[in-house]
Structure 1
Amino acid sequence: MLDDVEAVVLVGGKGTRLRPLTLSAPKPMLPTAGVPFLAHLLSRIQAAGVRRVVLGTSYLAETFSDFFGDGSAMGLELEYVVETEPLGTGGGIRNVFKYLSAPDVLVFNGDVLCGTDLTAVVDTHRRTKADATLHLVRVQDPRAFGCVPTDEDGRVTAFLEKTEDPPTDQINAGCYVFRREVIESIPEGRPVSVERETFPDMLEAGARVSGHVDAAYWRDLGTPLDLVKGSADLVRGVAPSDALPGPTGESLLLEGATVDDSARVFGGTTVGRGVKIGKGARVDGSMLFDGAVVEDNARVVNSVVGTGARVEESAALYDAVIGDRAVVGAHCELRHGMRIWPDVVLPPHGLRFSPDV
């Protein structure tokens, strides 16, 4: 148990390409498998035995405190520290330094879904007597990420930018362990990137930076498709969480949702409060926000349907995002990541990709 470790979660960013279409909340507060995404991360931290968590916030900071309060409902002690201007990852960590007292501090990016064993990460940090330790995951295609090679002793040797010919499949997973003294050494009061400044400077100075490498579940929720897939993995139990508001399975139905007996809802779909799904509809691996309606014989696959939006009879969505209160008219067909803005109304037969026969 990590009761002698504190945690920092950086949740200050505005960034998500889903936010303008559906919600005004920061990405870590977007409903994901029925609760704000941040609740899943906090549940993992609590399950590892950490009791005190500092949230470094900036954009809509009150959203976090209004929902989580002092953290006691989750068995945590939460402290909120607000950035008055964007400070980057390293600057955000330095900004919370005076609120920390534990010798070792776990730091998380607040928009990453991960199933790693946090106790094992801290054990690697302590066993190697590291100044800082990074959780590294192996991915099938590392070209889209910066790479972090390690030597035979698990010591990080470099931080490499994206390349078409990466020398390793190991990437930074957005979870770190720092000695408290290292956090104090980060420059104060200005933007700092841990990836481009803090860690490379530590290597140059001869500090011990260790890598904890595993193949645990990991997903960066930076795009709508990643958010949908991450939510589905939580519902199905592929990604671990103690915050799921119901049992794992093919679907998660929240209060007041109704599904016709002839409809099929599967693939880790979240069906929000008051959602209605009609006869013969098929909903696969999607997120239906509160009050949405999917009418008879409609198809919704790997898509987001915003609050109060309507998918009319025999319409089809594949990898689409439908904004709040928008209407997709009967027999429309949307594919390939299409976005429909809030309150937009597509007329029946107004848009199709497949030829009519």
Structure 2
Amino acid sequence: MNTGPDGSPGPLRDAEAVVLVGGQGMRLRPLTLSAPKPMLPTAGVPFLSHLLARIRESGIRHVVLGTSYKSEVFAEHFGDGSAFGLDLEYVVEDRPLDTAGAIRNVAHLLRAEDVLVFNGDILSGLDLRSLVETHRRAAAEVTLHLVKVDDPRQFGCVPTDAEGRVTAFLEKTEDPPVDQINAGCYVFRRPVIERIPAGRRVSVERETFPGLLAGGARLQGHVDSSYWLDMGTPAAYVRGSADLVRGSLPSAALPGAPGESLLLAEARVAPDAVVDGGSTIGAGAEVATGARISGSMLFDGARVGADSVVRDCVLGAGARIGAGVVLRGAVIGDGAVIGDECELLDGARVWPGVEIPAGGVRFSADRR
């Protein structure tokens, strides 16, 4: 492996990447009715832009996107990747293949010996070069990025031995023996990918990895304490965008300087309005006098009325929020209208085009 002048891992020009972006993002609906989860605006650009920027910074140039849901959206935005300093190729999954099946589905486009594989909904500060260094030093068949979490009960656990070798894959349990979990990023030797059964659903954690362990293959764990967030829920999605805006996780794709807010082209914020907490105000969006926006995202063309409070929310493209409204932890779909003096609390979701009348309505449920 190449090394830098200080002996640290150098650019990964001899590796390539696969990004799995085929999921429908059901937990983020109604936002994902109009776009795949990795293409949702996140700190001013599609979420996938931040991941591709990290991949490019590592020195990797060839990237294959494994797509399915609304697959055309990816190619329309990123094209062949040349504008982003990458060589991008696309494979469309015509039926669900699970994680390992989706990896096998792109095998015909792979060229390198070492292939980094990413779940397309993870926000991470992992040093990719160090991950590959661990993989090569251990002569592993597969290396997994592992993170320690405060409450591993909601995840499967991945124990390792004193040398970092993976020893098992454990299902979710109320009494997990370790706090290490699979963080959704791997390095595969290409022959391992080519041995995954083709044309059917295959799970990495339930079939591929246990099968490799049973056959005596070396699976290595790479544990680090860098930033890590699964962006699968609205609360996590909002938090991740805010962290990018504030610079908690630096990103070369951020379209502006880190700070308390990010205002895109032609966004209009009244002089006495407050926008903070890592909020993003989309292109052409408006925030009226006396309004307070904190830790939230306004997609392009959204409008917030006078004296309204929006905290930890996502407002879809063209959404209209009246005056004196209080939104907390809510998801407002594209083009939805919230009348004056309404209060929408944690968990409230308003679907595209729905209109909530004025008059002090208070709720925390789906409105379709």
TM tier, shorter chain?
over 0.9
Structure 2 CA distance, aligned partners of 1:66 and 1:324?
Answer: 21
Q: In the alignment, is the contact (CA less than 8 A) between 2:245 and 2:259 conserved in 1? A: yes
Q: Which residue does 2:55 correspond to in 1?
A: 45
Structure 1 CA distance, aligned partners of 2:60 and 2:332?
Answer: 38
| Residue type at the aligned position of 2:313 | S
Q: Which residue does 1:314 correspond to in 2?
A: 324
Q: 1:279 aligns with which of 259, 271, 289?
A: 289
Structure 1 CA distance, aligned partners of 2:32 and 2:335?
Answer: 9
> Is the alpha carbon distance of 1:4 and 1:337 closer, same or farther for their aligned partners in structure 2, counting shifts above 3 Å?
same
Q: Normalization by structure 2: what TM-score?
A: 0.94
Q: 1:17 aligns with which of 27, 30, 34?
A: 27
Instruction: Determine which structure has greater relative contact order: mean sequence separation of CA pairs < 8 Å that are 6+ residues apart, divided by chain length.
Output: 1
Provide structure 2 residue ranges, at least 5 long, that are not aligned to the other structure: 1-10
| Residue type at the aligned position of 1:15 | G
Q: Which residue does 1:92 correspond to in 2?
A: 102
Q: In the alignment, is the contact (CA less than 8 A) between 1:320 and 1:339 conserved in 2? A: yes
Provide structure 1 residue ranges, at least 5 long, that are not aligned to the other structure: none
Q: In the alignment, is the contact (CA less than 8 A) between 1:310 and 1:327 conserved in 2? A: yes
CA shift, 1:239, in A, is 1.9
Deviates more, 1:18-27 or 1:120-129: 18-27
**Secondary structure of 2:191's aligned partner:** helix
Structure 1 CA distance, aligned partners of 2:98 and 2:92?
Answer: 13
Structure 1 CA distance, aligned partners of 2:363 and 2:97?
Answer: 44
Q: Normalization by structure 1: what TM-score?
A: 0.97
Structure 1 CA distance, aligned partners of 2:192 and 2:352?
Answer: 45
> Is the alpha carbon distance of 1:37 and 1:323 closer, same or farther for their aligned partners in structure 2, counting shifts above 3 Å?
same
Percentage of matched positions with identical amino acids: 66
Are 2:13 and 1:7 aligned? no
Q: In the alignment, is the contact (CA less than 8 A) between 2:295 and 2:311 conserved in 1? A: yes
Q: Which residue does 1:118 correspond to in 2?
A: 128
Structure 1 CA distance, aligned partners of 2:71 and 2:18?
Answer: 15
Q: 2:87 aligns with which of 77, 80, 83?
A: 77
Q: In the alignment, is the contact (CA less than 8 A) between 1:132 and 1:179 conserved in 2? A: yes
Q: 1:164 aligns with which of 164, 174, 188?
A: 174
Q: In the alignment, is the contact (CA less than 8 A) between 2:168 and 2:210 conserved in 1? A: yes
Structure 1 CA distance, aligned partners of 2:316 and 2:111?
Answer: 42
CA-to-aligned-CA distance 1:75-127 (integer Å, 9 cap, x gap): 10001111222111101111111111111000001111111100010000001
**Secondary structure of 1:182's aligned partner:** helix
RMSD: 1.3
Structure 1 CA distance, aligned partners of 2:189 and 2:332?
Answer: 44
Q: In the alignment, is the contact (CA less than 8 A) between 2:348 and 2:363 conserved in 1? A: no
| Residue type at the aligned position of 1:275 | A
Q: Which residue does 2:196 correspond to in 1?
A: 186
Q: In the alignment, is the contact (CA less than 8 A) between 1:22 and 1:307 conserved in 2? A: no
| Residue type at the aligned position of 1:53 | V
Q: Which runs of 4+ in 1 moved over 3 A?
A: none
What is the aligned residue count?
A: 354
